Copies of this chain bind each other. A is one copy, B any other.
Amino acid sequence: MSLRNALLGLLVFRPGSGYDLLKMFDTSLGYVWPAKQSQIYGELTKLDATGLIKVTEEGPRGRKQYSLTPAGHAETVRWLTESRESRPQRNPMLLQTFFLGLLPREEAVQRLLDHAEASAKEHDTLVALRDTEDWDKDMLTVCGRLVLEHGIRQRVLEQEWARWAADQLRAGHAVDPDGGPTGVPGKETDTEEPSAANASDA
């Protein structure tokens, strides 16, 4: 239901067409909630049908300008106050990290350092964006700035964590006494066999 609320949210500030909204997704909102053209148009049609928005003006190329109805405004406020949205749960990068032990140690370490570097680049981009934009014009950009700051901090976290994790893996090359490979094994055992992990089910 979140795309729905994203569209309503944008329409609170000013009426707009599907095309206008698409632009906003692509330039700003898409950082936290991406949406494709086909989905936006479909959702707008539904929103119109349920009476949360309506066409208030028609323009040149079949352009339909949508505005919020009172019901739409109420729904937006309700969404903001009543629903407590949680963090995103699916993280592909952490999923890979979970299985990083299957790679030779150096490769695993390198993957983490690559992630750190990629995050650093993204960090710089976001900082540049923060310092470029003409902020504080309206509430949308005031809150947009809060969101952007979150992104910046996030990239710092990714960097620091990835470097720490790389260190952890590097440090883990102690050979354990009871035979099993405790750290990340080298290339010896990992070709064909599902070698592994342990038998220590105690």
> Which residues of A are at the interface with B, using a C-beta cutoff of 8 A?
2, 5-6, 9, 11-15, 29, 31-34, 67-68, 70, 73, 76-77, 79-81, 83-103, 107, 111, 114, 118, 136-140, 142-147, 149-150, 153-154, 157-158, 160-161, 164-165, 168-169, 172, 180-185, 187, 189-190, 192, 194-198, 200
- Copy tally for this chain in the complex stands at 2
The secondary-structure label for the interface of chain A is helix
User: Do the beta carbons of B100 and A143 come within 8 Å of each other?
Assistant: yes
User: Do the beta carbons of A98 and B9 come within 8 Å of each other?
Assistant: yes
Taken together as a complex, chains A and B put the C-alpha atoms of A107 and B81 apart, in Å, by 8
User: Do the beta carbons of B88 and A92 come within 8 Å of each other?
Assistant: yes
A84-B114, A99-B12, A140-B101 known; A146+B172 contact, CB < 8 A: no
A34-B89, A140-B101 known; A95+B2 contact, CB < 8 A: yes
Residue picked from A145, A150, A164, most chain B C-beta under 10 Å: A150
User: Do the beta carbons of A194 and B73 come within 8 Å of each other?
Assistant: yes
